[in-house]
Chains A and B, each alone.
Chain A
Amino acid sequence: MVQDLSDRSQYPARNRDGTLDVDLTSGKYLKLWQGPNHPGITGNMSVELTVCGDEVVEGKTHVGYLHRGFEKLMERRTFIQCFPIVCRICVPEPDFNEYCYAAAVEELAGVEIPEQAKWIRTLILEMGRFNSLMMYLGGQSGSLGLGVIGQWTTYVRDLMLDRFEELTGARIYHMFILPGGVRDTLPEGFDARMEETLREAERTMKDVWNVMFQNAVFRKRTIGVGYINPALFDDYGVTGPTARGGGVAKDVRRDQPYLAYPDLEFEVNVARDSDIYSRADVRRRDALQSIDLIRQILAKMPRTGPVMAKMPNMLHWKIPRGETYIRGECSRGEYGFYVVTDGSGYPRRVNVRGPSYTHAMALLERLIVNCNIADVAALLVSLHTYPPEIER
């Protein structure tokens, strides 16, 4: 049923040097920009489409609209000063930046964080994953004109943001995971309120299943559309739910467990078809899994002991020369920080590796060929990309 439509061997014609022979003045082709003026949930990026009729013959991703030069800015901030800035790299799921950065710095400095801090970090990461997936579900359905899902999931996400607010003291940029541990313990009564939120989330997830995944229109427009050949996964560095939607059970939480994940029970969600529907379904199940994991974490985590390791004075904290790479499984795939230190009080180099970097650039540009214009938005969203982590 599913076929790889991304074969661009026949059409349009190519020049001798391999570039496309697209003569815009011929009247046959049209250039169409999608973005940067917000193409839906994907944020501030644009795709330059060359279309023939309603079929895309070429697509080029343009990014850089959100470039702030984090990797440069971090080089002139001390290790503790980097901590507030990293979360800004990815807006919908900022905590992964905090975790990866903190873990990398801790590893290089030889700091072991307390047990309770590990669990709280895991909790925050799962809450963040849930939120990010809620945004995705709203966006995916919205990209096909089904606006109501976004209304529901944004509400549930907002409830989760309330939990974030009482735990971390902020809604979006939590700045809670800092090198050495976390800022504070769980507030009183947090578990009960979290349980309430999770119940509400489960109810919404049922509605999402009924109205989105069981919806003839949605199914018609996503099943078999946006197919990615699993053979391409390695070529294009595909990770996370995008890979799992194609039957490859890539999940860092299972492959190279970190934090409290070895102590948690969960199955890696996989689907077979590698189309938009499969990817959406994997993410829906991921969201349910996050709910389950949050419950497990709250049930299993230790409630006593410190949440910060004994640290040197942060104002002049120096870390010996070294380099490391820390990865984790964020809602979109493998998220990682490559950090190089040179013995000074500042990082020598920080490189952020977000899944969107590979998904939204080379992969998207390949998939988009021969796509229908109406499907471009759905395809783009189904890769679940957040541009700020591409350009940083």
Chain B
Amino acid sequence: MKKAMISLFCAVMCLLALAGCGSSGKSTKYAGQVLNVYNWGEYVGENVISNFEKEYDVTVNYSLFSSNEEMYTKLMSGSSYDILVPSDYMIERLISEKMLQPIDKSIVTNLDNLADGVKNLNWDPDNTYAVPYFWGNVGIVYDSTHISQADVEKYNFAIFKQTAYKGHVDMYDSERDAFMIAFKDLGYSMNTSNEEEIQAAYKWLKEMNAAVNPSYVTDESIDDMVNGQKWLALLYSGDASYVLSQNANMRYYAPSYGTNLWVDGMVIPANASNPELANVFINYILTYEASLDNSETVGYSSSNKQVLEELSSEGGTYYNNAAYLPRTDNPKDETFHNNEVLRKELSNLWVKVKLG
């Protein structure tokens, strides 16, 4: 038994030693400080974090969430972060609940780098609280060897109700995105709070569930489509552009009757313990190098004007990639607005849709 403890101890030491590798850098004003970043999974360039750490000799605690609501719950449950990257409507909510602190524009000097599409956003026109990180829309990714372009353009989002594709469909597991396609297909606004329209959309989704029995997934869909395991999926444009870049059979289509045009922005919570470093981080992300690494790795549309142009033009990684450059010219595209009562209702209905 003593032996057992000794060997266990050795094993523990080995693991600790393994874990302790790395971390060194030059000294700056921020040397030794810690930054808590809370971001989406698969949402950052390979070297962005490590380069930032090296450049400023700081440590970044990088945590992941998989939905805005999960992030919000964590925030409510007492966790303290310096940087969050929520979506538009969530930022709106955080602003309204006074949970954010303003961006320090004396530190964040790279705001000029922003692309036109993410400037002057109606929920935070002057970047008082938020600085765009990625942006894009939501659309249909389909396997052109199984589904024709004509069908997709004919059915638009109703393609998800075609029984012919039963068992080959991934549906994005989020009440907002799912109800968005139903609202759009029914010709309503995706911000509607009309009870009849909501019930109609609920019915629409239940029909969809019965018709194609989709898998309710989030990021799993990316690999499913890259590997051609599914024919049809609802994806964010950035994930779609990555899929398209990996699998030549895949196509992207955003229905002409409008879809969700979204922006994810970096914000600093009111209870952040290191807001100064958080501003430095935001400014760093806006640089060409960091934005390039981010966008190239992840496939989402950069908020940096120069990167966006470079990657989508000839020779760029996402040249001719239908999903990379979000359209800004369709007036029927909408942005979500914060409406907590509506969200709760949709959320409850969505649980029921999934339960069949």
Report whether chain A binds chain B.
no
Q: Report which B residues bind A (CB closer than 8 A).
A: none
